[in-house]
Structure 1
């Protein structure tokens, strides 16, 4: 039976699909300890990734936001007192920016994005930490705290390793292994086909009351004049 004090990484997922993906990437899953506090409202998946013992929890169904996440973290830290690092891992939303002379800005569907501090800011902006003023640029009014030094050092290490690795970062192989292990996940969790990754120009407005399940090509059209033309990447899936 695992000891609750042996777990050092806390992993929070906001929605079910993020939780499923996290569980699928565990190298091994551990049984739930019998001595969890009775007032802990979380449901956990325990396991290991590499040499790290990981605790994964998700927000209650249909409940999102800071207050729900805070409650989950509070119970997790009480039940697993030696957690050293907390991670919020999941699906990100954002606006892709394509600049022909700046390939590092070219975000595609299925990319994994890791933010880092720059110019004294944390690298993660809370959605309500800013304001729009007519005819002016978006004004940032606050940002979240920076990650701990250990994680910032890890980012530098991973970045240098990727730069020196002529065979890519190995993510595609890891994802393929997981999908082979859980073939039922392929339909909804494999990387989208490249032909579906269309970047519409900012002037194209997606209908507010779209039919459920309808594609952007159906709703907005696939006229080339509405799309930002982007060249294929040298290797599919390479950031």
Structure 2
């Protein structure tokens, strides 16, 4: 069916990569197609559809452009074109931060969901702050927590998991059944032996595109899982404008913030676009390569987003204020924030890809 009038869409979904948008589109129960009518100066491309009883609109960051500023721009333009949006979901991939000592066994293909924890609202902008004695890092400024309607849906879904199995495996299987090309493209789950976590101090062999030459003795032993279904982890997501592929810095984010995941867009949304962040894990933020998991990670994040919307009632959603009415201060990164970022990474000798 053709797209509905813009005011009938109450849920906005933002993806950073085309593979994430494809996975989210594959989860639609009904497709409405691409929109041609947009607000002036809105350069986003939108695809509309329905998930359960929610009319949703999906947008993707421009090709080759990522980071917190780009995400914030896409969100602001979306809220102008779809003036009755009530909340958003940031759905895509991220790098996992395991904490085996604490029993937090984040693995490839799992999903990390932003949820308030301690003093953080679910997302922390990790390069904003100042260094303190002893190498400690004190964050500066706080990001908003997700809206109550999404936190309530989150609680309802967690309660459901205590009673019933997740619907995510069924959603993933139906996706591959309806769209068989996605299996050949890599959206199916890779073999479990392809999920390897190396010691933080062990670096990828220079010049090799795979980990075939990396030493097995340098891996961390983890107990086998009974099920291959993705597990869900709730807590803090670290967000910044740099790709982290250094395990020492990754572990520092866990130590400083209790982060379970690191990514590059969420900090640009939280204070201007009320949303929840959902990340399918496709790597471990180290120097080793896990490209085989990227599309599957996008698929698991999309499947979780679909299951979450089952627990967000239409009535509660419609009672939320439109995003346009609650837009706050600009989330664009200032020059001083960029200086803090450079200081943070130079002190920790991070390498980027």
Residue 216 of structure 1: aligned partner: 211
Aligned length, in residue pairs = 228
Cα distance in 2 between the residues matched to 1:185 and 1:227 = 31
Kindly indicate whether the alpha-carbon contact (under 8 Å) linking 1:116 and 1:123 is maintained by their aligned counterparts in 2: yes
Structure 1 CA distance, aligned partners of 2:72 and 2:49? 22
Give SS of 2:79's match.
helix
Cα distance in 2 for residues equivalent to 1:229 and 1:45: 43
Q: TM-score normalised to the size of structure 2?
A: 0.60
Note the 1:146-185 alignment, pairs <5 A. 146-165=145-164, 168-185=165-182
Report the Cα offset of residue 127 of structure 1. 3.8
TM-score (norm 1): 0.87
Change (3 A) 1:115 1:40: closer
Higher relative contact order (CA 8 A, sep 6+): 2
**What RMSD, in angstroms, separates the aligned Cα atoms of the two structures?**
2.1
Q: Are 1:109 and 2:108 an aligned pair? A: yes
Residue number in structure 1 paired with 2:259: none
Deviation at 1:137, TM superposition (A): 4.1
Name the structure where strand makes up a greater proportion of residues.
Answer: 2
Larger Rg: 1
5 Å-filtered alignment, 1:22-101, equals 22-37=24-39, 39-99=41-101
1:237 to 229, 232, 235: 229
Unmatched tracts of structure 2, length 5 or more: 232-353
8 Å CA contact 1:10–1:87 kept in 2: the answer is yes
Contact 2:111 2:230 in 1 (8 A): no
1:170-198 per-position Cα deviation (integer Å, ceiling 9, x unaligned): 21111011011111111421222111111
Compare the two structures and name the one with the higher helix fraction.
2
- Distance of aligned partners of 1:163 and 1:78 in 2 relative to their CA distance in 1, 3 Å threshold: same
Alignment partner of 2:31: what SS?
A: strand
Deviation at 1:13, TM superposition (A): 0.6
Unaligned segments of structure 1, at least 5 residues: none
Measure the CA separation in 2 of the matches of 1:210 and 1:162. 44
> Is the 1:109–1:192 contact (alpha carbons within 8 Å) kept by the matching residues of 2?
no
Whole-angstrom CA distance in 2 between matches of 1:184 and 1:201: 36
